[in-house]
Structure 1
Amino acid sequence: MTATEGGGRVASAGAPGAGGPLLLGVRHHGPGSARAVRAALDAAEPRVLLIEGPPEADGLVALAAEADMRPPVALLAHVVDEPGRSAFWPLAEFSPEWVAIQWAVRRGVPVRFMDLPAAHALARGEEEGEGARTDGGGEPAEEAADLDSVRIDPLGALADAAGYDDPERWWEDVVEHRAASGDAFAPFEALGEAMGALRETYGSGGHERDLVREAHMRIQLRAAQREFGSEGVAVVCGAWHVPALREKVSVAADRAVLKGLPKVKVDMTWVPWTHRRLSRHSGYGAGIDSPGWYGHLFSAPDRPVERWLTKIAGLLREEDRLVSSAHVIEAVRLADTLAVMRGRPLPGLTETMDAVRAVMCEGSDVPLALVHDRLVVGDVLGEVPDSAPAVPLQRDLTRLQRRLRLKPEALERELELDLRKETDAARSRLLHRLRLLGIGWGEPAESRGSTGTFRETWRLRWEPELSVRVAEAGVWGTTVLGAATAKAEADAVGAAALADVTSLAERCLLAELPEALPVVMRVLADRAALDADVGHLAQALPALVRSLRYGDVRGTSTGALGEVALGLAERVFVGLPPACAGLDADAAAAMRGHVDGVHVAVGLLGELASSGDGGGPGGPGAPADEGEPVVVGTAGAVGDVDSVRSPSAGGVRGRWQRVLRGLVGGERVAGVVRGRCARLLMDEGVLAEGEAARFMGLALSPGTEPGEAAAWIEGFVGGGAGGGMLLVHDERLLGLVDTWLTGVSEDAFVDVLPLLRRTFAAYEPGVRRTLGELVRRGSGQQSSAALMTEGAPGFAAELDPERADAALPVLGLLLGLGGEQERGGAGRGGAADGGAGRSRNRLVGVA
């Protein structure tokens, strides 16, 4: 099949009794051609049937008669040693070739494919550098594009000669809507003459590949004639080739054309296909625009327009559109009227869709697009029987799909999994293993119902190309589990970056590959030990820590993973302070992202440690002070680095907080990193009351470069981490920012304005509006010193204990503190009163 043939081909035939074979030129995927072929074969009753297609598929013809074979399907040929180099020959229910095969197998008539063997076609594609993958009919996709520029579209040329501007409309008028005549061969004779005239005018198309294919077809035709007699042979092929098959060419000339063709070893089988892949816009060069519409025309026993519009009405009702029987009746009348006005014998797709838009869709193209997607194109997925040849991996996948009740479907659908259920957990493992193998049947999606780790959401959609991916993955093993294990081990050894190995470890846990995980962990440990780049270590840690959660949900042992994660975290703690010194703007922004990722990972690692998961010295389940390493800083790189070295404070979270505090006070640390660390410490509740304002005051002091100060602000209140609300509720911080900004020189203001606008533009509109109101009413005009000493407007200088105590019982209930607020209130006086006062301050602040 060629790109031009798929666009539309007409026919030429030699009637039986004329001293030659019956040549039935067709339009591939044309329902009119399919009906005409069936009628011609019923009339001629040939003894053998030759069909355009690869001869390697001769042994697969009998499968077309099995009950489990449901079109659309495709013949798939792939190189044995390189399954990725493949070609498809799609067939739909309304394809003339499929109708001819069905006719032959039901009557016991031999069927032979006569096109150039796939062994030569795929080898030629490699030799000519036209790309490994081919699309449709053995025609390399790149070559199909070249053919468009040198070969005419026969259907378009005939339509233009008849005065039509749309070849599809012309084909419908002269073929699909043509009343059946008594002569079954008349349509082939009439259209064949036109095709012959086109080849006389434009030549054979001008491409060497057609000459090779047609030479092989003539050789196959001669062999069939010698065996069954000329009048016992019927040929179903693209009409473009019919004049070439009638051409008088010597056997020696044809053999000379085929001499020396390269050859590779190929395997062939049937695979499911879809209507969507038959459509031209999907990338199949010999496709059609409306496979769903053509399928309807072929299968409708009578009144096709009425049945089509009724089907559309049913689809719209399913989508909650108000469509009644009156709409259908009115749409049929309008379609008939449009056909009369446009001079057409019957309404075609254009008239019916115009009527649907006007009557059922009320002029809107939105529901019309749904109709086009679901019905005009369609999501029909074919089926092939189990007896069809397949690689062992495909058979194992089919077995798993049936056991887990995961039927491949062409229409995209969402699948919600609860990993606490055995069947859902097995489905999750299968989908993750297929993703490891590059078989993208399912893609993870965001869960809408729950954020727990026991929930997974997948989007499933089976594409015909996945059959090729399965064949490609067959080199890794004969089962999905074995192939995924081998592929993961190979990917671990060949991974380029540490983050790739940690991501692979996470995927191995998701896919539950117990044999591959030790190999991945050895590679991970080796890479982590040799990699001195703190950025790489920081990138690797989050995925590694996330993987520790899967032990709870999936029952996977993560002890070794926990040890590696703890060791990686310690190396980050040691290397991060010197790595944050002397960074430019881009490097500082990247380092801020690393700090955020490590902070989240450490938080999760601390939770796992407190719950007793994992193992290893100083890791989950160990006492706080046991096995705590001494972290050595780099002198002069940051401020209070020595505080990291204290062995008294236990736990990974405590060590991380000391690293952050050292970064906050580091003079050589980039402003955006210092600001971010201060914000993280404040969110953790580590900074004492007013200490955040002190750090901000130091960062915004007159001696600090304006650009560096603006970067500190971005790190502290930027990044969408609630910084806007922080300024709204703490007017001391807002006043510091405002005072600094009003004191910046005009030249410096121009430099820092883009950075500040980027920071504040990330806030919600309501937050920005509130900040503007606060500044407008004068909150930001007070000096930072006044804000530090006098407090924010609207608040007293000191806390009123009685009024605060009155709110404590309610706040305790809201916050789940039980009776703690009563104990705090009873202990006023002396040092205890100071502690209670700070508690009340925090409660009031939360309120």
Structure 2
Amino acid sequence: MSGPLLLGVRHHGPGSARAVRRALEAAGPAAVLVEGPPEADALVELAADDDMRPPVALLAHVVDEPGKSAFWPFAEFSPEWVAIDWALRHGVPVRFIDLPAAHTLAMRARPPRPGRTDPIGALAEVAGYDDPERWWEDVVEHREGEAFTALGEAMAALREAHEAHEAHQAHETQEAHKACETHKACEIQECPGDSVDPDTGWNAVDDHDLVREAYMRLQVRAARREFGDDVAVVCGAWHVPALRRRTTVAADRALLKGLPKAKVDMTWVPWTHRRLARAGGYGAGIESPGWYRHLFEVPDRPVERWLTKVAGLLREEGRIVSSAHVIEAVRLADTLAALRGRPLAGLGETTDAVRAVLCEGSDVPLALIHDRLVVGDVLGEVPEAAPAVPLQRDLSRTQRSLRLKPAALEKELDLDLRGDTDAARSRLLHRLRLLGVHWGEPADSARGSTGTFRETWRLRWEPELSVRVAEAGVWGTTVLGAATARAESDAVAAEALTDVTALAERCLLAGLPDALPTVMRVLADRAALDADVGHLAQALPALVRSLRYGDVRGTDTGALAEVAAGLAERVFVGLPPACAGLDADAATQMRGHVDAVHAAVALLEETGLRERWRTVLRSLAVREGTAGEVRGRCARLLLDEGELADDETARLMGLALSPGTPPAEAAAWIEGFVGGGSGGGLLLVHDERLLALVDGWLMEVSPDAFTDVLPLLRRTFSAYDAGVRRTLGELVRRGPAASGAATALTGIPHGFAEELNPARADAVVPVVRMLLGAGAGAGAGAGVAA
């Protein structure tokens, strides 16, 4: 080697990775320099640990602001990872030479740079490709040896054109800024000259790459002084022309002068293939990490092996795929590659072959193949020796003891809280959620169980959760201690009563007995000061649920029961006056509060509170001035509880639907009584007296009033199941034969008026005749006679 060996690569490119390995084997450099933050030099030895399994990432975060962080991901097919692995196996020093993370994270406060054209995309466009991934496969992945040098030359030409364009734009910017009489008096809302940072003197918008490359050149010079010219540099191909450029040390240091700096910590964290993909939010990613891993791993016949994988996945999903299907798909992929002038079938050709042969033209299985194979759900692992905040170490120990291993593939976890292990798993997941680490999300059980002793979670570990754990580290060194401190802080900071009651519930779910005294004190204070019945009604259900959860988990909830009882008493006293004088929207909201309180009181063990609540319901059901929807709902709740006889129910409905009641108020009563998901449709099906009352009232509504109440009635009856609506229609259609009781009660056949209405009957005759093919021209009378 007569000088530094500059290996320009594409990040996460398997062709580049193989080319780098061959180049290092041939050159045998004395040191390897890799694009990455220098703070990771102390961690590079961990890459050789037997427990380190890519994909992994270097994570840097500001010590005082863990949320300000950055990742540098590596897959096993990343050229940088291959270079690190080669150096460690051969005992060659390896250094990171990119701009330190201390500067990178400190500069995050600056305005983001406008997106620059992807150089790979630009080269692909010049070559006549509309897909950069396909161009890369053709030029590098399948012809890597021929294109390695050509790629560097192409990048140099691209950089030259790009820099010439930027120089022209900078000249126009400076001229525009000079045209302003003064900067402060500039009439342009966003003066072009504002892109120049007055503190550092360098262009914060456009020249971030120039700063990085200046630092890289300084590091290369330092390595050459230490190791001589036998140095290999592995970096993005875009940077190679800049590293070849002859510049002075003083010029490079001038670019770095005055850069902001922050104190950072760095470690290794697991990464996933999903996060390597562009769709996962990583800007330098690839669209098909699973496919690239396959290209890097297989020794030969990549198309045949890939289609065999696809066939295996489809068989696991119950699809019939034979060996003949695979053979035919291979032939089709090779034929498509030849027709398209490609050296070897790529992902596009194999996907087309899979769609046509293995999926029989359907795109539905392709979504599964893309998710499970093309992208993949691989989660890397890092050794225990990797630096970590104490909270992360405690979390890792707890995960191992509970046999709850993080995984990139979403899975459903059913827990039986009567078992010690499952109860501990539940507490851990609830504590993490309280800390903002959403590893698990509660879900509806596939078994349909609603018991409080069961929980269902959906688990998926994302790399960003490592940042959330680092952020949560400010609350404590253990998951239990941190969750307790966070709960106490949230309780003190909470403003709404419902927030505190929800927090009390979460504390019981998470098993935080030390946080409960603070939460209960704040809860009692907020409840004493809050006079809004709606707020109190919203808070009560969460408290009652907490009592039930406490019973399941064996937690002492005596103090919570006292607060819940006091809160219920205040609701009972304040609810009747709060239900008067409500408009339609407020009445609907209050009806929801009544339902919530009713469900909560039913779960309380104190029978005295239940009797008090029934008394409140009776008063609301007959109280004048109470919103119709609330009165109807209270009557229905009493009926369901067996506290209201059928005759009394019919009497209340008759009063609510009497001619003296405004139609809108009567319709609201019906909505409260039989609307929503209350099962009111079945009630009308089985009690035809109530159905007859509703039917009779509806027949008496005037045409103008009917137009006004129709939307509410449609909402009421549209909530019923199709079978219930059909049965109600049949009952109305059958008329006199359907129910003698209804006829006796009203004197009118159920579902019918007293006499036939010829005008209404004649209105449908033309349509009926047209449907029967008899024409619509005959008279109405003839139609009726027919």
The one-letter amino acid of 1:483's match is A
What's the counterpart of residue 201 of structure 1? 161
What's the counterpart of residue 736 of structure 1? 693
The one-letter amino acid of 1:277's match is R
What's the counterpart of residue 723 of structure 1? 680
Asked whether the 8 Å contact 2:442–2:456 carries over to 1, the reply is yes
What's the counterpart of residue 150 of structure 2? 190
C-alpha distance in 2 between matches for 1:438 and 1:285:
25
The one-letter amino acid of 1:453's match is T
Task: Report the secondary structure of 2:646's partner residue.
Answer: coil
1:120 maps to which of 82, 90, 103: 103
Task: Report the secondary structure of 2:592's partner residue.
Answer: helix
Shift of 1:201: 1.6
Task: Report the secondary structure of 1:406's partner residue.
Answer: coil
The one-letter amino acid of 2:67's match is G
Shift of 1:435: 0.7
User: Aligned pair in 2 of structure 1 residues 205, 660: CA closer, same or farther (>3 Å)?
Assistant: farther
> How many positions carry a matched residue from both structures?
711
C-alpha distance in 2 between matches for 1:793 and 1:535:
41
Asked whether the 8 Å contact 1:736–1:784 carries over to 2, the reply is no
Task: Report the secondary structure of 1:515's partner residue.
Answer: coil
| Residues 1:281 and 2:241 are matched in the alignment | no
Shift of 1:480: 0.4
1:152 maps to which of 80, 93, 117: 117
Task: Report the secondary structure of 1:203's partner residue.
Answer: helix
What's the counterpart of residue 653 of structure 1? 610
User: Aligned pair in 2 of structure 1 residues 179, 199: CA closer, same or farther (>3 Å)?
Assistant: closer
What's the counterpart of residue 478 of structure 2? 479
C-alpha distance in 1 between matches for 2:320 and 2:286:
31
* 1:397-796 aligned within 5 A: 397-449=395-447, 450-605=449-604, 609=605, 620=606, 651-778=608-735, 787-788=744-745
Asked whether the 8 Å contact 2:739–2:750 carries over to 1, the reply is no
Q: Kindly provide the CA deviation profile for residues 744-794 of structure 1, in whole angstroms up to 9, marking residues without a partner as x.
A: 111111110000000000011111112112222336999999654889979
1:161 maps to which of 112, 126, 129: 126
What's the counterpart of residue 41 of structure 1? 24
Task: Report the secondary structure of 1:452's partner residue.
Answer: coil
Q: Kindly provide the CA deviation profile for residues 325-379 of structure 1, in whole angstroms up to 9, marking residues without a partner as x.
A: 1111111111111111111111111111111111111111111111111000000
Shift of 1:383: 0.2
Asked whether the 8 Å contact 1:505–1:520 carries over to 2, the reply is yes
| Residues 1:322 and 2:320 are matched in the alignment | yes
C-alpha distance in 1 between matches for 2:579 and 2:739:
34
Asked whether the 8 Å contact 2:334–2:345 carries over to 1, the reply is yes
User: Aligned pair in 2 of structure 1 residues 173, 789: CA closer, same or farther (>3 Å)?
Assistant: closer
Task: Report the secondary structure of 1:236's partner residue.
Answer: strand
C-alpha distance in 2 between matches for 1:784 and 1:534:
42
| Residues 1:177 and 2:176 are matched in the alignment | no
C-alpha distance in 1 between matches for 2:232 and 2:209:
21
Asked whether the 8 Å contact 1:739–1:781 carries over to 2, the reply is no
| Residues 1:68 and 2:51 are matched in the alignment | yes
C-alpha distance in 1 between matches for 2:592 and 2:160:
68
Q: Kindly provide the CA deviation profile for residues 547-600 of structure 1, in whole angstroms up to 9, marking residues without a partner as x.
A: 111233211111111111111100000000111111111111110000000000
| Residues 1:342 and 2:340 are matched in the alignment | yes
Task: Report the secondary structure of 1:690's partner residue.
Answer: helix
| Residues 1:257 and 2:255 are matched in the alignment | yes
What's the counterpart of residue 219 of structure 1? 218
The one-letter amino acid of 2:539's match is A
C-alpha distance in 1 between matches for 2:642 and 2:356:
64
Shift of 1:156: 2.0
C-alpha distance in 2 between matches for 1:209 and 1:311:
43
User: Aligned pair in 2 of structure 1 residues 339, 279: CA closer, same or farther (>3 Å)?
Assistant: same
C-alpha distance in 1 between matches for 2:567 and 2:597:
11
Shift >4 Å, 4+ stretches: 779-787, 789-794
Task: Report the secondary structure of 1:253's partner residue.
Answer: helix
C-alpha distance in 2 between matches for 1:204 and 1:108:
43
Gaps of 5+ in 2: 167-205, 752-786
Asked whether the 8 Å contact 1:31–1:176 carries over to 2, the reply is yes
C-alpha distance in 2 between matches for 1:157 and 1:541:
62
Q: Kindly provide the CA deviation profile for residues 64-103 of structure 1, in whole angstroms up to 9, marking residues without a partner as x.
A: 0000000000000000001001000000000000000001
C-alpha distance in 2 between matches for 1:41 and 1:496:
62
What's the counterpart of residue 169 of structure 2? none
Q: Kindly provide the CA deviation profile for residues 653-680 of structure 1, in whole angstroms up to 9, marking residues without a partner as x.
A: 1110110111111111111000000100
Shift of 1:254: 1.3
Q: What is the TM-score of this pair, normalised by structure 2?
A: 0.88
User: Aligned pair in 2 of structure 1 residues 113, 290: CA closer, same or farther (>3 Å)?
Assistant: same
Task: Report the secondary structure of 1:778's partner residue.
Answer: helix
Asked whether the 8 Å contact 1:735–1:780 carries over to 2, the reply is no
The one-letter amino acid of 1:406's match is L
What's the counterpart of residue 394 of structure 2? 396
Task: Report the secondary structure of 2:44's partner residue.
Answer: helix
Asked whether the 8 Å contact 1:73–1:382 carries over to 2, the reply is yes
C-alpha distance in 1 between matches for 2:142 and 2:23:
18
C-alpha distance in 2 between matches for 1:204 and 1:697:
87
Asked whether the 8 Å contact 1:736–1:780 carries over to 2, the reply is no
Shift of 1:158: 1.9
User: Aligned pair in 2 of structure 1 residues 784, 67: CA closer, same or farther (>3 Å)?
Assistant: same
C-alpha distance in 1 between matches for 2:140 and 2:645:
85
* 1:285-324 aligned within 5 A: 285-324=283-322
Q: Kindly provide the CA deviation profile for residues 476-524 of structure 1, in whole angstroms up to 9, marking residues without a partner as x.
A: 0000000010011111111121111111111111111110011111111
What's the counterpart of residue 57 of structure 1? 40
Q: Kindly provide the CA deviation profile for residues 28-68 of structure 1, in whole angstroms up to 9, marking residues without a partner as x.
A: 00000001111111111111111111111110100000000
Task: Report the secondary structure of 2:513's partner residue.
Answer: coil
Sequence identity percentage? 78
User: Aligned pair in 2 of structure 1 residues 793, 257: CA closer, same or farther (>3 Å)?
Assistant: closer
C-alpha distance in 1 between matches for 2:601 and 2:633:
16
